[in-house]
Structure 1
Amino acid sequence: MPRVLARVSALLTAFLLMVSAAPAPRADAAALDPFTGYLMAHFIGESANGEQLYLAHSRDGLTWRDLNNGAPVLLSTIGTRGVRDPALVRSPAGDRYWIVATDLRIASGTSWSDAANRGSTNLVVWESRDLVNWSAPWLINVAGAIPGAGNAWAPEAIYNHATGDYVVYWATNSARNGVTKHRIWYVRTTDFRSFTAPQLYIERPGTQGLIDTQIVEVPNSVGGYRYYRASADGHITIEASNSILGSWTTLGNLSHLGISNGTGGGNVVEGPMWAQFNGRNEWALWLDQYATGRGYMPITSTNLGSVSNFRTRTDYAMGGTRKRHGSILNLTAAEESRVLARWGTSTPVRRIQAYTHQDRYVRHVNYDVRIDPNVNPAQDAQFRVVPGLANASGNVSFESVNHPGYYLRHYGFDFVLAANDGSPVFAADATFRQVAGLGNASWSSFQSYNYPDRYIRHYDYQLRLDPVGDTQARNDATFRLTS
């Protein structure tokens, strides 16, 4: 009996050693709750505040509404202090999210040539646990190790079930085999902080460059493949694969729809952006009609295995802002509820009426601020009274209606309408405490957050930030918020 026990013990020990030595199988996360809505991350253009992070929401995947009153949701305060081409990424378990974006701000005066050849090789990243509270941004220098890299543009990221990490891919302009052009490179990461050495991912023949590409994973391999990617490479080329880092099969392009990225003429587009419609096997490929300035349009398909299955759509609406290259995330009910609670409520539009000249209202003109009667266009005298940028408790800021993301701020004790640059100084200069009117307690006065001995007042019809030491000053510092 002892000999038998010894043999069993030895066999058990050997078995345990074999099990411990074998690699643990990767188990995909449990399926997420059913999707009920859609979230689009995007930028809006090269305006002063256009290259920042904007969000839009849709219930049906075709009709979009701007969130946060059309103002940016996140501002980049690092790198070039601007972001373009944001990609929304969810972990398989749905318990963590990232935004990865191009570190680029053309509105700062950077030329396209400088941006492409001597630009940032970093990407900007934010992280969240709930999709509404985001970390401070950080930079990852993904292209720094590429010889002669001039930039890092249009990033995307997708979870790779085969390796249990994320593939981050983007375009870099650099010389290779005697040809300088944009190619797609990739790294792998688990945390969007540390990453592998960059590897070449997609290169087109000859001098043809490639900047924009996006991959979608298709459940149940509808159309015969698990992954499909659309790339702006002169045409909009559609490819398919069963492995993100494996070989890809070219299915064709969209020239039969009169759509190209320039080589084929017709409707010239860029920024391909995939989204599956919730609850059904149908996909939209959104394309930015940048050549004509018309913004995104969708084409749809119920079978991505052949480009002939795509059809154009006209039953869509993009909201108030022009949406530039971004990405779409399908939302669970819980995610949708959190997003709409934070950014979905529309703040009422208000005018700021002067107490001493009740036919005059605060308005901006050429970004200067004054009080005028009969303001035309009316939106120049309309603002959204939002929680104070520097301190939301008992404080307010005034956001322009026709220039979302621009606020009334004092500068040298004069007032201007300026784009929020994300700095603490801007936030403080644009924040005020609403108190009982100094000239009439049934009206309001607005005390400066960072100069509490000064108030918003008009003088010779110009808006200023002044001390109020006499009756005239107190009356001039009294206003009423009206509809």
Structure 2
Amino acid sequence: MSAVLARLAAILVAACLLFTSQVLTTPQRAAAADPGYLMTHFIGEGATGQQIYFSHSADGLHWNDLNGGGMTLRSNVGTRGVRDPALVRSPGGDKYWIIATDLCIGCGQTWSQAINDGSRNLVVWESTDLVNWSQPWLLNVAGAIPDGRNAWAPEAIWNPATNDYVLYWATNVPLNGATKHRIFYARTSDFRTVTTPQTYIERPGTQELIDTQIVELPAGVGNYRYVRASGDGQITLEGSNSILGTWTNLGNLSGIGLTGSQVEGPMWMKFRDRNEWTLYLDQYASGRGYMPVMTTNPSSPGTYRIPASGSYSMGGTKKRHGSILNLTAAEESRVLTRWSNTPAQRLQSFNFQDRYVRHANFDVRIDQNITSEDAKFRLRPGLAGSGTVSFESVNFPGYFLRHSNYDFQLVYNDGSSQFAADATFRQVAGLADSTWSSFQSYNHPDRYIRHYAYELRLDPITTATGRNDATFRVTS
């Protein structure tokens, strides 16, 4: 018996040593070891604030502005401004959409007009890689709603029960002459056509509801598969096991001091390495943008807590009503490469040093003392080849300086090899002064960017005047 016990003790000790060794030698996972998170959002009012912006976080709590804090997409349809963007990934991960409110306050439209006679459309972009995006299009979702006055704050979620997306948004349908926003939904498979809108969420009486977002929970967390957070005077939580089924009121966040009079724009994010969620809320009443609220069970209001202010940071821009996507490693690599924080710079003429390259109505010329964003470009890695550059507009992201018939225009990148070649240049020592720069065409290497009668052209350079005209300084 003693021999058997001794043998068992030896086995136990060996097992403990093996377990201890594994525990001690397994490194703690670094916060940035896994892919991070992409937030799409807008930043404020005006024609530039109400566009699409991207931010990235390695841990979900500390955010960095992408693209130097500049916009990543700009709407050129409808009101030419967008708010409340939602970023949607297809179940197969092979397609993405951004859907947004077609609204531009301070761009010729007041809040009263937007509420009572606003756009009935949403603005939609599509991509297959999160990097190259289509031109935006308008999707009419509220035109079929009797007395529907607008379409705000869209969201979409894949519904496995119907094998398509539930697209939902707020529309003002006045009640007894008073404003009343409620949530409508339609089904879609491509964000180009939708089914007839139906009422999705409506609160009793005159209570309005504008913002709502749904999160899907894993098995074993709470009693519901889906939880939605809505701004309806409170931040109300509801649970359901079916997106289009019955929803149960779970309570609100007034217990931690947050109500709909203070915050709006609920935005869910699940930490990828643990069962913990952040519900980001836009502090619109104080104008401070998003703050996080943490929970280990979204369906239980009593589990929510406000983290210490020093435990998170939102980056340089004010982040307002958007959505967050948990990235794969491949997605993260593409996004961080495409929207790296390349500085905005100007091109100063060598022989007219008070003039800078700028675009005006998408034509390109040199003008005097231009400091506006029309004269600012990001020198991106060349679209057609390594060791080259392409000039991307700061205030029209996705638009590049391109030659066509040796003339220059600012043109949206259509993704073609011809576009890439026409928009790519080699930066070489200045033809008139080697401390400056000249830009040689990638696909017409005997020609350079130069100005002629203040217009930008692509020409062979054979004279001293041509060398002067083809020399520029890259400056801030």
Normalised by the shorter chain, which TM-score bucket?
0.7 to 0.9
Query: Which aligned pairs between 1:408-447 and structure 2 lie closer than 5 A?
Result: 437-445=430-438
**Shift in CA distance, 441/322, structure 1 to aligned 2, threshold 3 Å:** same
1:295 CA displacement: 1.0
What is the distance in 2 between the residues matched to 1:465 and 1:445? Answer: 16
2:337 pairs with one of 335, 341, 348? 341
Tell me, yes or no, if structure 1 residue 287 matches structure 2 residue 281: yes
Match of 1:191 in 2: 190
Query: Which aligned pairs between 1:398-477 and structure 2 lie closer than 5 A?
Result: 437-445=430-438, 455=450
Match of 1:121 in 2: 120
Partner secondary structure for residue 68 of structure 2: helix
What is the distance in 1 between the residues matched to 2:356 and 2:389? Answer: 19
- The one-letter code matched in structure 1 to 2:147 is G
Question: For the Cα contact (< 8 Å) 1:76–1:82, is it kept in 2?
Answer: yes
What is the distance in 1 between the residues matched to 2:456 and 2:343? Answer: 28
1:311 pairs with one of 291, 305, 310? 305
2:290 pairs with one of 277, 291, 296? 296
- The one-letter code matched in structure 1 to 2:330 is A
**Shift in CA distance, 74/404, structure 1 to aligned 2, threshold 3 Å:** closer
1:398 CA displacement: 7.1
**Shift in CA distance, 219/78, structure 1 to aligned 2, threshold 3 Å:** same
Aligned-residue identity in percent: 59
Question: For the Cα contact (< 8 Å) 1:386–1:399, is it kept in 2?
Answer: no
Structure 1 range deviating more: 269-278 or 129-138: 129-138
1:351 CA displacement: 7.1
**Shift in CA distance, 58/369, structure 1 to aligned 2, threshold 3 Å:** farther
Partner secondary structure for residue 106 of structure 1: coil
**Shift in CA distance, 271/466, structure 1 to aligned 2, threshold 3 Å:** closer
Partner secondary structure for residue 86 of structure 1: strand
1:465 CA displacement: 5.2
- The one-letter code matched in structure 1 to 2:323 is S
Partner secondary structure for residue 47 of structure 2: coil
Unpaired runs of 5+ residues, structure 1, are 1-33, 263-267, 410-419
**Shift in CA distance, 177/242, structure 1 to aligned 2, threshold 3 Å:** farther
Match of 1:481 in 2: 474
What is the distance in 2 between the residues matched to 1:186 and 1:129? Answer: 25
Question: For the Cα contact (< 8 Å) 1:447–1:455, is it kept in 2?
Answer: no
* Number of residue pairs aligned between Structure 1 and Structure 2: 415
1:369 CA displacement: 7.2
Match of 1:25 in 2: none
Question: For the Cα contact (< 8 Å) 1:300–1:310, is it kept in 2?
Answer: yes
**Shift in CA distance, 124/393, structure 1 to aligned 2, threshold 3 Å:** farther
* Offset from partner CA, 1:349-404 (integer Å, 9 cap, x none): 6676776799x99799xxx97569xx9xxx9x997434699x9996643766xx89
**Shift in CA distance, 258/361, structure 1 to aligned 2, threshold 3 Å:** farther
1:54 CA displacement: 1.3
**Shift in CA distance, 222/180, structure 1 to aligned 2, threshold 3 Å:** same
Match of 2:324 in 1: 328
Partner secondary structure for residue 219 of structure 1: coil
* Offset from partner CA, 1:126-149 (integer Å, 9 cap, x none): 222222222232222111110111
* Offset from partner CA, 1:91-110 (integer Å, 9 cap, x none): 22222222111112224221
Unpaired runs of 5+ residues, structure 2, are 1-32, 359-365, 402-409, 442-446
What is the distance in 2 between the residues matched to 1:399 and 1:240? Answer: 45
1:161 CA displacement: 1.8
1:478 CA displacement: 4.1
Match of 1:131 in 2: 130
Question: For the Cα contact (< 8 Å) 2:377–2:391, is it kept in 1?
Answer: no
Tell me, yes or no, if structure 1 residue 276 matches structure 2 residue 270: yes
* Offset from partner CA, 1:317-361 (integer Å, 9 cap, x none): 112221111001111222222222322x33256676776799x99
What is the distance in 2 between the residues matched to 1:61 and 1:404? Answer: 28
What is the distance in 2 between the residues matched to 1:124 and 1:392? Answer: 35
1:444 CA displacement: 2.2
Structure 1 range deviating more: 114-123 or 127-136: 127-136
**Shift in CA distance, 212/35, structure 1 to aligned 2, threshold 3 Å:** farther
- The one-letter code matched in structure 1 to 2:297 is N
1:172 CA displacement: 0.2
Match of 1:57 in 2: 56
Partner secondary structure for residue 36 of structure 2: strand
Pairwise CA RMSD of aligned residues? 4.3
Tell me, yes or no, if structure 1 residue 89 matches structure 2 residue 88: yes
What is the distance in 1 between the residues matched to 2:132 and 2:377? Answer: 25
1:64 CA displacement: 1.1
Partner secondary structure for residue 312 of structure 1: coil
What is the distance in 2 between the residues matched to 1:287 and 1:89? Answer: 19
Superposition TM-score, scaled by structure 1 size: 0.73
1:447 CA displacement: 9.6
- The one-letter code matched in structure 1 to 2:265 is G
* Offset from partner CA, 1:149-174 (integer Å, 9 cap, x none): 11000000011122222110000011
- The one-letter code matched in structure 2 to 1:347 is T
**Shift in CA distance, 395/117, structure 1 to aligned 2, threshold 3 Å:** same
1:422 CA displacement: 6.7
Match of 1:15 in 2: none
Partner secondary structure for residue 397 of structure 1: strand
- The one-letter code matched in structure 1 to 2:264 is E
Tell me, yes or no, if structure 1 residue 103 matches structure 2 residue 102: yes
1:423 CA displacement: 11
* Offset from partner CA, 1:407-455 (integer Å, 9 cap, x none): 999xxxxxxxxxx99799xx9xxx896665353245225799xxx9994
Partner secondary structure for residue 168 of structure 2: strand
**Shift in CA distance, 346/398, structure 1 to aligned 2, threshold 3 Å:** same
What is the distance in 2 between the residues matched to 1:128 and 1:349? Answer: 25
Match of 2:259 in 1: 260
What is the distance in 1 between the residues matched to 2:411 and 2:50? Answer: 11
What is the distance in 2 between the residues matched to 1:190 and 1:406? Answer: 26
Tell me, yes or no, if structure 1 residue 385 matches structure 2 residue 379: yes
Partner secondary structure for residue 60 of structure 2: coil
Question: For the Cα contact (< 8 Å) 1:354–1:371, is it kept in 2?
Answer: no
Tell me, yes or no, if structure 1 residue 212 matches structure 2 residue 211: yes
Question: For the Cα contact (< 8 Å) 1:351–1:361, is it kept in 2?
Answer: no
1:293 CA displacement: 1.6
